[in-house]
Amino acid sequence: MEKIQVTLRECNYPIFIGTDLFSKHTSFWPLTSGDSAMLITNNRLADLYLDVLVNKLTQFGIKVDHLVLPDGEQYKSLVILEQVFSALLSKNHGRDTTIIAFGGGVIGDLSGFAAASYQRGVRFIQVPTTLLAQVDASVGGKTAVNHLLGKNMIGAFHQPASVVINVDYLNTLPPREISSGLAEIIKYGIIFDATLFKWLENSIESLLALEPHTLMYCIRRCCELKAKVIAADEREKKGGQRTLLNLGHTYGHAIETHMGYGNWLHGEAVAAGIMMAVYAARRLGQFSHIDTERVKSLLLRAHLPIKGPETMPSTAYLTHMIRDKKVISGQLRLVLPVSLGHAVTYAEVENDIVIQSIEDCRI
């Protein structure tokens, strides 16, 4: 088991990374005998792990209830959030309870927002089970639900008490989910770490094959990078470093919203968005042809899309992008790469550049 510490102004918390964690270790639970907890998961994971996890917590003396939600991005909504609150209230959970989010980004975001809101804030633990959640969504305290008009538009910053990454859970994921997680990993290489990008070029097949040592190194490196960013910019202030983590997301969220949540996986939409951002940077004279081809090749080798949905007109992106959380005073701002390992936020990107970057991906 490896441990990374996230150090913030008002709180600190550990990220634990390892294999077979729940049979070998107990130190990562910030819970003691007599504590109460609500374990939130989805129906697919419940069939695989719920009984084992509840039994383990009960052995520690934790009074644990559980809530099983439907699986899918379309369920990350205010309607489902109401079910979470109802479950907590009906089981008489107080301000001293702990919410345990056991699942991917949907469960993590939904449970985290519930924890931020329930009785004005309770403790929660992230136990991410997808690659995307392990390298990105579970770390950093962003919690939210979706709205019909935009993804992650209703939420709060609420840091977890700990993040427990059990790499073994990835073995039950379908290949499409693994590829979705690789999009966020590739993003880290593009915006922060050219050495990581080069390592990915040499290691992508091993990651797709879920080679344990390769996965451990990759997850640890991504968590290290994100922990450093969060420490410098916890709440994504204007012009802050954390904004750079949104490379590809402004385009990608437009795809997810337009196509209906769940039809494109988040990482798939981000991958297409990364390619669009690369072409926008090319249009602005800020990214080389050689690096463009390297990004395209790596995304393809990761079995990810490099263009948006054929049925989504280029002009439809702008309708959704103008609602993006990075828009200030009606001006669209995009995170664009300058070189591998370095990205910047561009203010007042012209609509023509956005449209052309989307069209460039179709060629």
Q: What is the C-alpha to C-alpha distance for residues 280 and 271, in angstroms, rounded to an integer?
A: 14
> Which amino acid belongs to residue 335?
V
* Residue 226: active-site member: yes
Q: Where are any strands of DSSP class E within 53-136?
A: 63-69, 98-103, 123-128
Give the C-alpha distances (Å, rounded to integers) separating 300 from 69, 291, 308: 33, 14, 14
Q: Is 278 helix (H, G, I), strand (E, B) or coil?
A: helix
Q: What are phi and psi of 256, to 5 degrees?
A: -60, -40
Catalytic residue among 184, 234, 256, 268: 184
Alpha carbon distance 100, 190 (integer Å): 32
Q: Catalytic: which of 120, 202, 289, 310?
A: 120
Q: Is 235 part of the annotated catalytic residue set?
A: no
Residue 249 known to be catalytic: yes
Q: Which of 66, 158, 266, 326 is catalytic?
A: 266
Would you call 289 a catalytic residue per the annotation? no
3 has catalytic annotation: no
The verdict on whether 120 is a catalytic residue reads yes
- How far apart CA 44 and CA 318 sit, in angstroms, is 35
In whole angstroms, give the CA distance from residue 104 to residue 225: 20
Q: Is 350 a catalytic residue?
A: no
- Catalytic one among 93, 158, 187, 253? 253
For the chain, the C-alpha Rg in angstroms (whole number) is 20
Is 2 part of the annotated catalytic residue set?
A: no
Residue of 44, 147, 242, 301 marked active site:
242
Candidate list 66, 93, 187, 226, residue with the active-site label:
226
Contact of 252 with 238, CB cutoff 8 Å: no
Catalytic, out of 93, 221, 249, 320: 249
Q: Is 79 helix (H, G, I), strand (E, B) or coil?
A: helix
- 253 catalytic? Reply is yes
Helix or strand run (H / E) with residue 112: helix 105-117
Distance CA 108, CA 124 (A): 10
Rounded distance between C-alpha atoms, residue 200 and residue 192, angstroms: 13
| Residues designated as active site | 120, 142, 184, 226, 236, 242, 246, 249, 253, 266
